[in-house]
């Protein structure tokens, strides 16, 4: 417990309290990080980034401000996952249902996503960390500018296999299964696959996540208090640990990530056994 700061007549009570709480927060965060690193860190974390618009409404700000803050939180998350050596990250950025909006907010989202993807493309850390960056979803529905940078990211990181960043964009879990079935059906039609040979691995080999060494997330985290997957990784999430936090995505902190990991570590994972 940090020492309570003495009263300084040059400081008001609010600043003094803030400094005290800040010191306590840092001490608690260091202790929590030390504790979780003693246990198994999840290899694959998937995150449903929810609450940008609600944060903006609460802050009496435009929805664009909420999305901007949410994008900043994503960059912070990638930094924290690097610090904790989490190997695979899957982010639910934009659903196929979101594309039906056809409004100014969607156009702003496209611009923001394009901007942050370009920033990621120019980030030397993806090469330093040998991180493969890949979009999963029906990306053909997205603007050409976004598809261009997604392709450049995919091409530039195709041979990396130390870390993985999956960007679920124009994504829908039911659509993913439909697309997998179509791929399997085409192989049957072409005589490359027999119906009786279809098993779970056949399905997994035709999902958007087929490139991953571990397609099933250990932990799926959703912010904003909603307790549903909203079609996210329907097949892959069969035995994932689900954690729902009341915090809105733009407010997400490293300590929230570490708390989720600690909850994960305390659960008895039997994976159906």
Residues acting as catalytic residues: 50, 98
Residue for token pair 């570590």? 265
Tokens of 184: 């399997």
Residue 202, helix vs strand vs coil? helix
- Do residues 94 and 113 make contact, with C-beta atoms less than 8 angstroms apart? yes
Helix 254-266 and helix 13-36, axial crossing angle in degrees, nearest 10 = 40
| 33 Cβ neighbours under 8 A, 6+ residues apart | 84, 258
| 264 Cβ neighbours under 8 A, 6+ residues apart | 42, 218, 219, 241, 243
Torsion of CA 29, 90, 106, 244, to 10 degrees: -50
Distance between CA atoms of 75 and 17, rounded to whole angstroms?
Answer: 29
């Amino acid at each position: 417990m940090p020492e309570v700061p003495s009263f300084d007549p040059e400081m008001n009570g609010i600043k003094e309290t803030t400094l005290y709480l800040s010191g306590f927060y840092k001490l608690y965060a260091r202790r929590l990080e030390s504790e979780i690193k003693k246990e198994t860190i999840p290899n694959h974390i998937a995150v449903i980034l929810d609450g940008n618009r609600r944060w903006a409404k609460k802050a009496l700000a435009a929805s664009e401000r909420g999305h901007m803050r949410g994008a900043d939180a994503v960059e912070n998350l990638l930094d924290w996952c690097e610090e904790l050596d989490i190997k695979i990250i899957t982010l639910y950025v934009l659903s196929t249902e979101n594309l039906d909006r056809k409004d100014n907010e969607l156009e702003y989202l496209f611009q923001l996503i394009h901007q942050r993807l370009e920033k990621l493309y120019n980030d030397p850390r993806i090469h330093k960390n040998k991180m493969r960056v890949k979009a999963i979803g029906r990306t053909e529905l997205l603007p050409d500018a976004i598809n261009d940078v997604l392709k450049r990211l995919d091409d530039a990181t195709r041979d990396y296999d130390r870390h993985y960043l999956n960007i679920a964009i124009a994504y829908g879990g039911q659509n993913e299964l439909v697309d997998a079935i179509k791929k399997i059906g085409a192989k049957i039609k072409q005589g490359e696959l027999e119906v009786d040979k279809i098993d779970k691995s056949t399905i997994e080999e035709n999902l958007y996540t087929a490139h991953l060494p571990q397609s099933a997330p250990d932990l799926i985290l959703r912010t904003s208090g909603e307790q549903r997957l909203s079609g996210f990784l329907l097949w892959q999430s069969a035995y994932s640990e689900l954690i729902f936090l009341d915090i809105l995505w733009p407010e997400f902190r490293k300590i929230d990530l570490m708390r989720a990991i600690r909850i994960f570590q305390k659960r008895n994972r039997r994976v159906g056994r």
